[in-house]
Each structure stands twice: as C-alpha cells, then as structure tokens.
Structure 1
C-alpha cells in the first residue's frame, strides 16, 4: 500500500474534465497537496494508506470555483450605494468613499472579509482588482486561498498612487515581491478604457510580453462607455485596444455587454478570455453579455461576481446559476449554456483565463488538490437525478460543507479554519462607522 496524506470518498465525484462526467463511488487520493489519483473507491481503499480519510456519503466532490473578476476589499462597501447606474454609482459614491477611507488597513480588513465569504461559497481562487495588492497578498496567504492578484493602473490620483507612471512603478515593484509565491499569480490590471490613456496601455502591453502576465480590464461594460470612447477617440473600446496592440490570448475582458458580431469574431480571433459578471450587470442595468455567441465562436468564458459593492454578494454558485439562466434567455435557446458548460465556466473557464489550467480547475492526477464538497441531501436538492444539474440549478451555498486548497482544509463541516469570521465581521462594523461618518459629512457639504 502507498502512504498518502488524504483520501476523499464522496457519493459523486465530478472532475469537470471531461465535461459532464459524473463518477459514482469513486475516491480521490492526495499527497503533498496534489491529486495522486481519481479511482473507484474500493480500489483506493486497497491501494492507499491515508493519514486522513474524509467520507462524504451524501456529497458531490468537484473543483473549487474560480471567481474570474472581483474587487475583494470593496466588501466593506456592500450596500453603500444601491440602485444606481454605473457612472453615477462610481462618481458620486464609490470613488469619493474610497478617497476618504481606503488604506492598507482597509484593504486588509476588506480582503479578509471577502476571503471568509469566498471560502464559505466554495471559491478556492479569485482574480482581484484593487489598490494595495501586496497587502491583499498577505491576507490571501494567511487564509490559504489562491488568487490572481491585480496590479492596478489608472490615470488619475488615488490614495494608492499619484498618476499612471506611479501605478506602473508600484505594479512592477509588487510583481517583483510576489513572483514565485505559490498561491499568488500577478495580473496586470488597467481599470478600463475610460480611465487609462494610450501611453500607459502601450507600456502595459510591453510589460505583459516581457513578464508573461495576463491583462485584466473592464471592457464594453455599458453603452455609455462605448459611446464615450467613440466621442473621445473615434473608436469603439475594442477597436482602440486593438490599435494599441493590447488584445491577445493573455487578455481578460470583463463584462463585455456591448458587442457586435464582428467584435465577437475579433475576440475569438485573438484568443481573448471573457469574465462574465451577470448579477452585477443586471443590478447596474449595464446590459447582457452574449455568452452563447461567444462560446459558439470558441471564446473561453469564465464567471465573476464583481465586487460586493455592486452585486451585492460573492456567491459564485448563485452567479453560475444566473449565468446559465440568463444565457438561455438572451440566446432564446433553452439548450444554451447547459449545466455542464456552466460548471466548466465556473471552474476551468477561470483557470484557463489566468493561465493556470494545468494547476487547477479540474480534478485530475497531477493537479493541485483544490476542491469543494456540496451536500446534496438537503430537501431543496432531492431527489438527485443529475448531480451537475442539481448543483447548477438547485443547490445553495449553505450546502457547501468543505473547501480545500492544495490539500489543506480551509473549511470543514461549514467551520472556517483559516479566517476568524467573527473578527472579520467586527472589523466590517468599524469600517461601516467610518464610512457612515464620511457620508454624513459629504451630504452636509453638498447640501
């Protein structure tokens, strides 16, 4: 018998690759944080001697969800300004609040609160875009999660940097500090076409090529963005980015609600990736990403929650359901984005976009043991005819009982093990008072 660290025995094992496959009464063997084998449970018991066994008789085991777009620290602004269009939401509420409150301490506490929610929602990896990325990295390492860490670039001054060159300098310094960290994957993160000018975007392309980093950017988020770029540059955003040589197979375009058929073909031709954030787009009335058309064109699509300030939660399981349902309505086809494809988007889609699909996104021998367990014995998911469909269309995040990253338990039986949830909530309450005070002063100043 071979000694291993962990043997997991669920009722159903869903490897995601091949898409739609469900294995019953199989087990997964883990050693040194990696998957050794996926095999029938009776064979596993004969072949392996585990230091720890996890038996999950009512559960489905699947890869951890990969949240392809979020702003983790903005969890502290959840519910701060609701029911507003994007630019009014940003200009009148979010950006002024950030100027008043954001600091390294704010980012640490906000990221910690988000990580607690991510873990409880079955997310093992997230792709972030926010200020003070090195501070966020410290928290991510502390919690044991995996992340694509955005090195943000904007033209205008914030509490983090003074101008585009300062952002770029800090991005490179953060990359140098973080490269080689096992769970941190730096990503260049220009905010959007309307907040970053041509010169820094050209520099970002050169850095991406030199350092081998993805680029993560809001693109074609709203009709106003597209019209604004046309008025300012004479080009639609994608057309401008193409002229700047920014588009390539390392580019992750977020939202993409305003696309022509020619633009979809362009996205496919460059091998770009799309981060689809359906609930944020719905809440801000930004539009509908043509997911089915993108998939039909061969484009890789992942799913993101966006930040809790615009969603207002970080529940990727629920986001996956919304993505599947909305795609059917937009395409006018009930077969568009079937349940297995939605699950692929929520796992392998994000992993491919971040360039780490050889490491995470599916349960296969040799990959990191990043996985979650969902209890399907709940009344709301009985009876179980098809576990994948049940997860996509019926399950809720309270049914996610276990979250592991690299073979390490971050949550067992719904108990957080690497984040103090009570302390995170207490910190959120303190920041709420800070923001409430700012908002009260701001209302008096503008009255």
Structure 2
C-alpha cells in the first residue's frame, strides 16, 4: 500500500464518534483534499506516502466541535451586563447597545474575535443568528471556518432591517450569494415566538417548504423561560410550541434553542415533529432561565445538540466547558449519576450538532469519505493524568485550552496553537478599541 495523502496524522488516540469503533489506540488518519481518506493502525500507516506527516504521540484526534447556537459578534459585549435576568439583560442593556453600536464593522470585528476563540477551543463549525449575516459569511470564509447563518427576523426595526419583509429579503440574498460556498449554509432565523407575529411565521413556513424542497433549516429561540411560556398562554391561548406547530414551523429541519421550560406534552410535540433541540446550559444558568430536561428529550428520541449562546450571556465560547456543564447538570437535575454520560455529551457537541444542521453525512464523526474537520487535543498535561479513558478526560477535565491543531475542510487552520488564517494581535487591538468607544460614550 503506497497511497498518497496530503496529510498523515499519527495520534495516541482517535475518537471517531463512530459507534462501530469509537476509540482507536495508536492509529493514523489521512487527509487528501478536503476528505478523510484513511484511518488505520499506525503500523500500517507507515506504508503510506504523504506530503506532510504530523506526529501527535500524546494527543486525542477527534471531530471538530459543532457549536449549534450563538451570536458571534456579541463577543464585543462580553462582560458588559453580567448577573441580570434575561428580560432586564435583553431589554435594558443588550438591545439598546445593539441599537447604538451594531454595524458592519462591529459585526466583522466581533465575529473574528469569536472565531479566534472558538478555533482555539476546538470548534470548527458554528451556527450564528445575528445582524449583517452577509458580513459574517465573508469573515468566516476568509478564516476558513464552517458556519450556518440563521438570518434574524423580527417585527421591529434594527440597524439591519426595518420590518420582517426586509429581513427576509436580505436574508434570502445572503442565501443566494453563498449557494456555491462550501463553508456557508443559510437558515431562516425567526428570533423567538414573542418577537415574531403569526403572519411572519406563516410566510417563513411557506418559504422554507418551497426552498430546495424544504431542505433549508429554521433556527429559533423557544421556551427559554417560564415567563415566555406564560405570556404566550395569556396572549395566544396556547404554549409557544403549540403555536409553532399550528403554523407549520416545526419539522425535521427545525432547530429549537434553549427549551428550558418544557412539560411532557411539549416534549411529545417536539418528538412527533422530529425537531432538534439545542441545549445552551451555561447561558441558561447564568441568566437564571431554567434547566432544560435534556435526559427526557433524549429518552423521547429527540436529537439534542450543544451551543454556547453568545459571549455576552455566557462569557465564553468554549464548547468543551459546555459539555462538562451539560453532563453535570443533567446528573444533578435528575438525581441520576448515569444521566448524560461522557460519550453522549461528546456526541452532542459533534455528531448531534451535525445532525441538527442537516450535515451528518459530511460532519460530526471521523469516517472515511467525510469532510476533514478534525481537531487534536493534547492530553499530556498534569491536569489530565493518568488517562484511563480519553473520552472522560475530554469531557470532564476542561481541555479547551489544550486543543493544539485544527483542520477545517482539510485545511490546517491552527498549528500548535497558532492560528493560520486570523491575526490574534490585530483582533485583540480592535476589541480593545471597541471597549474604549463603548465605555467612553
């Protein structure tokens, strides 16, 4: 065997997220173009020829993490309005700040700040809902990062649009502009049931069904708090999930974010429509929004993925932290130490995220033929010793800072912690300039 590869990576462990062979010891992975072309024992891999060979004797090689919900540009608001409930945080602080500061330059600088942080903590794909998604698309493409952009739709004006018609028109233009971009997919992003009226929901449901034979995603904040649910019952005579089901917005392409206030009937409805749940445990905890019944959803057969939410409500975009919090929270909430085990938490941040985005055939696990979105995590530090089980170390020992390499679409985006497509010093300076402007205004 002398098959040529562009890159051959030898690792102590390969965490495939493939149920047939989940953890491989002393194996190698070959990348040719933008695909994984071989996974085989190290002893056999030495017979391959490769343009570049990387030896990672203390590392776990695994699929890149998929952050299924965030607001990347809001990284520039990190720490600006801490320790407040969601209603006050949003209405009294974040929306006024967005009205004053958010423009194309703000989004570009905030997205680059977020991407630098995400890449350095293992994320290779992120789902984003924010203004000026056209700018985010350009920034992600320049950085070589994979993204789903859910263009926001509101009933009220913002710096990006004046009404639902304009938001939808601009969002569909972003969709058309990126239809041949292999890194970018575009989704409908009706913000939440309390910010989107029935006629707008109906229009989105119709357009989503028509575009690509219904192969376009819908991404929405849903059942984030008990207050949201109570208001919906008061104003519409039904819970938000019932309302969305009635208007045709629930289905196998719908990504439901937060779901911190659910009853058993809500879970049955989500399962019946094959919706995806996006769990953002740290943001929900920080805002006091509630605890999502993740184990109940998993038991009902619902696909549950992980998101960080924005850095303005979480303060970090480290998805490894989110995995650990999700696993511990599920155990504490259920009183069951076996709830959400480490393997399942890791799958939520990888294959389940790919499934939620409709990309499970291409991403989320290390398998021959899949896209080469791969990260390497150094498990040699004292904090990770001894390594009885690499999956346990990845989930429970805070290893985001130990990500050493990242490949996205076969391209080396980070090598030995050095970003190859983003300038950290420049990003840091621009973030500090925004802080000075905001503080002194």
Normalised-by-shorter TM-score class? over 0.9
Partner residue in 2 for 1:53: 53
Determine the C-alpha separation between the residues in 1 that align with 2:313 and 2:368. 38
Q: Give, in angstroms, the shift of residue 171 of structure 1.
A: 1.2
1:412 and 2:415 correspond? yes
Could you say what secondary structure the match of 2:313 adopts?
coil
Partner residue in 2 for 1:353: 356
Determine the C-alpha separation between the residues in 1 that align with 2:21 and 2:227. 39
Determine the C-alpha separation between the residues in 1 that align with 2:139 and 2:172. 20
Partner residue in 2 for 1:443: none
Alpha-carbon contact 1:222-1:286 (below 8 Å) kept? yes
Superposition CA RMSD, Å: 0.9
Could you say what secondary structure the match of 2:349 adopts?
helix
Q: Give, in angstroms, the shift of residue 437 of structure 1.
A: 3.1
Partner residue in 2 for 1:197: 197
Partner residue in 1 for 2:23: 22
1:170-249 mapped onto 2 (5 Å cutoff): 170-211=170-211, 212-249=215-252
Partner residue in 2 for 1:72: 72
Determine the C-alpha separation between the residues in 1 that align with 2:87 and 2:428. 29
Could you say what secondary structure the match of 2:350 adopts?
helix
1:149 and 2:146 correspond? no
Alpha-carbon contact 1:11-1:24 (below 8 Å) kept? yes
Q: Pick from 364, 373, 394: which aligns with 2:376?
A: 373
Alpha-carbon contact 1:19-1:344 (below 8 Å) kept? no
Alpha-carbon contact 2:372-2:408 (below 8 Å) kept? yes
Alpha-carbon contact 2:8-2:29 (below 8 Å) kept? yes
Partner residue in 1 for 2:103: 103
Partner residue in 2 for 1:89: 89
Could you say what secondary structure the match of 1:317 adopts?
helix
Could you say what secondary structure the match of 2:261 adopts?
coil
Partner residue in 1 for 2:261: 258
Unaligned runs of 5+ in 2: none
Deviation per residue, 1:122-173 (Å, 9 max, x gap): 0000000000001000000011110111111111000100011111111111
Determine the C-alpha separation between the residues in 2 that align with 1:349 and 1:207. 26
Determine the C-alpha separation between the residues in 2 that align with 1:318 and 1:351. 19
Unaligned runs of 5+ in 1: 439-447
Partner residue in 1 for 2:323: 320
Under a length normalisation based on structure 2, what TM-score does the superposition of the two structures give? Answer: 0.98
Alpha-carbon contact 1:101-1:434 (below 8 Å) kept? no
1:301 and 2:304 correspond? yes
Alpha-carbon contact 1:221-1:256 (below 8 Å) kept? yes
Determine the C-alpha separation between the residues in 1 that align with 2:358 and 2:83. 35
Determine the C-alpha separation between the residues in 1 that align with 2:136 and 2:440. 25
Determine the C-alpha separation between the residues in 2 that align with 1:18 and 1:180. 32
Determine the C-alpha separation between the residues in 1 that align with 2:129 and 2:104. 15
Could you say what secondary structure the match of 1:309 adopts?
helix
Alpha-carbon contact 1:122-1:403 (below 8 Å) kept? yes
Q: Give, in angstroms, the shift of residue 436 of structure 1.
A: 1.5
1:138 and 2:141 correspond? no
Q: Pick from 420, 423, 427: which aligns with 1:424?
A: 427
Could you say what secondary structure the match of 2:221 adopts?
strand
Partner residue in 1 for 2:394: 391
Q: Give, in angstroms, the shift of residue 228 of structure 1.
A: 1.2
Determine the C-alpha separation between the residues in 2 that align with 1:198 and 1:142. 37
Alpha-carbon contact 2:175-2:185 (below 8 Å) kept? no
Aligned residue pairs: how many? 437
Q: Give, in angstroms, the shift of residue 395 of structure 1.
A: 3.5
Which is further off, 88-97 or 16-25?
16-25
Under a length normalisation based on structure 1, what TM-score does the superposition of the two structures give? Answer: 0.97
Could you say what secondary structure the match of 1:310 adopts?
helix
Q: Give, in angstroms, the shift of residue 19 of structure 1.
A: 7.3
Q: Give, in angstroms, the shift of residue 98 of structure 1.
A: 0.3
Determine the C-alpha separation between the residues in 2 that align with 1:339 and 1:139. 33
1:343 and 2:346 correspond? yes
Cα distance change of structure 1 residues 341 and 149 upon mapping to structure 2, 3 Å threshold: same
Alpha-carbon contact 1:73-1:130 (below 8 Å) kept? yes
Determine the C-alpha separation between the residues in 2 that align with 1:419 and 1:333. 43
Determine the C-alpha separation between the residues in 2 that align with 1:361 and 1:210. 28
Determine the C-alpha separation between the residues in 2 that align with 1:94 and 1:234. 29
Deviation per residue, 1:164-216 (Å, 9 max, x gap): 11111111111111112100011111100000111111111112112221000
Partner residue in 1 for 2:9: 8
Alpha-carbon contact 1:19-1:340 (below 8 Å) kept? no
Partner residue in 2 for 1:442: none
Cα distance change of structure 1 residues 239 and 231 upon mapping to structure 2, 3 Å threshold: same
